[in-house]
Structure 1
Amino acid sequence: MSTEPQGARRRLNPWSWLINHLKNKLMAGLLVIIPIGITLFILRFMFDMADGVLAPWLRQGASRVLGEEIYVPGLGMVTGLMVLYLTGLLVSNVFGKAIMTGLDSLSLRIPVVKSVYSFSKQVMQIFSRSGQESFRRAVYIEFPLAGTFSIAFVTNTVYAESGKKYYTCFIPTSPNPTGGYVLILPEERVFSTTFGVEEAMKIIMSGGVVAPDKIRADCMQ
């Protein structure tokens, strides 16, 4: 049995220390750079798409009015934002709502357009729902086996004819939370957590790497 202190053994192996040091620092850097990079990529994609769609029309309009083409980078993006703002302003009043009601009715009568329009509208309503959040709260449910627990999100409350309360719960997959399962469970099978929706999303997307030090465990007794 060696009596050499542990610290001395570590100093005798600088290569292992270097590997661990580089691995930890590179991983820490990735955790910071990847979200920033993805965000910048999406913003750049949206900018290029809006600018690419509207900029040619703006250049043609400028050439007809001024006699020459004028290109200002980002002008298409600014114009697109203005169109969105004016559209939102229009549909916020009674006259605009009447127009949208007519467009909705017309769109839902055209076979192919009906499917695409309905799906797109439902997706936008999920992300822009006012008055209540799409994910109301994070909970634990016993899934997929007895004695194992998963993080889920309560999305709605429903009642049986007898008056018994049930929750519709969405169980996202990890690390990609866009897919998952929907279960309808009685309230006694839905257990509270000590963290909110945002913290639950971090746990799921990190595969459990980002997790609170302590969790509510009364449901797991």
Structure 2
Amino acid sequence: MTKQKVVGRSRRRRAKAILRVSILRKLRAYFLAGILVTTPVAVTIALALWFIEFVDSHVVPLIPVHWNPNTYIQDYFGVTLSVPGVGVFVLAIAITLIGALTAGFLGRFIVRTGERVVARMPIVRSIYSASKQILETVFRDQSEAFREAVLVEYPRRDVWTIGFITGATTGEVQVKTPEDVVNVYVPTTPNPTSGFLLYVPVKDLRHLDMSVEDAVKMVISVGMVTPPFDPSDQNYN
């Protein structure tokens, strides 16, 4: 075997090896791209189905038989089938009707009477009062709750974390602080439903241009998802 044949065979083997590596890399890239596309969709669908099933399992048994659409499906088609979303639909209608009822004189009277009864229960009244105040603050038209994301030096100087302004500090806390402070909620990651409430001086806050939604994404993704930002759009010192 001549030297040229040996060199040619070696080159062909090397080319085949490079081709195999290239194909494997492309397949790996396609697989990762597929995961990035399908995983959020799958998680969203799974959570939606779980929520619908959870509500249906608690609401559908409360629907009278002659009002339950599943009953008519079984009678006319002879098939035992549970239509998904019936409980969610009924719950939405019930909540809307309750809201319409409480807007009237009779509804307000019933609510006030119920609140007087609850106010006489030591533990229940604390839970009811706190939850009512939170919901009224969040759903108030002019509420500033979670309207802005900020940077706060926490838990020590020169260490920054993302927080959310939940409103201006009032009452005894503001009176007993030497400066104007605001309520800042600092969430934990990756679960933002728990966190810390800080009373931070306004001058110590650094306001962020990103939306609250983008800031929440950063918290949940432990910093791996960062919204785009162009410093040239703003003047920073």
TM band (smaller chain): 0.7 to 0.9
The TM-score with structure 1 as length reference comes to 0.75
The 1:151/1:211 distance shift into structure 2, 3 A limit, reads same
The corresponding residue for 1:48 is 57
**Correspondence for 1:201 among 216, 227, 231:** 216
Which residues in structure 2 correspond to 1:56-75 (within 5 Å)? 58-59=64-65, 62=66, 71-72=71-72
Q: Which runs of 4+ in 1 moved over 6 A?
A: none
User: What is the identity, as a one-letter code, of the residue corresponding to 1:89?
Assistant: A
Q: Would the alpha carbon gap of residues 111 and 71 (structure 1) be closer, same or farther in structure 2, given more than 3 Å must change?
A: farther
Q: Specify the structure having the higher radius of gyration (Cα).
A: 2
Matched residue pairs, number?
Answer: 201
Displacement of 1:162: 7.8
2:36 — aligned with what? 27
Deviation at 1:77, TM superposition (A): 5.1
In structure 2, give the amino acid aligned to 1:40: L
Alpha-carbon distance between aligned partners in 1 of 2:53 and 2:222, rounded to the nearest angstrom: 28
Structure 1 gap ranges (5+): 1-7, 64-69
- 2:37 maps to amino acid: A
Match of 2:117 in 1: 106
Query: How does the TM-score come out when normalised to structure 2?
Result: 0.70
> Identity percentage over the alignment?
25
State how far apart, in whole Å, the 1-side matches of 2:18 and 2:209 are: 39
Conserved? CA contact 2:148–2:212, under 8 Å? yes
Stretches of structure 2 that go unaligned for 5 or more consecutive residues are: 1-15, 73-82
**What RMSD in Å do the two structures reach over aligned CA positions?**
3.2
1:130 equivalenced with 2:145 (yes/no): no
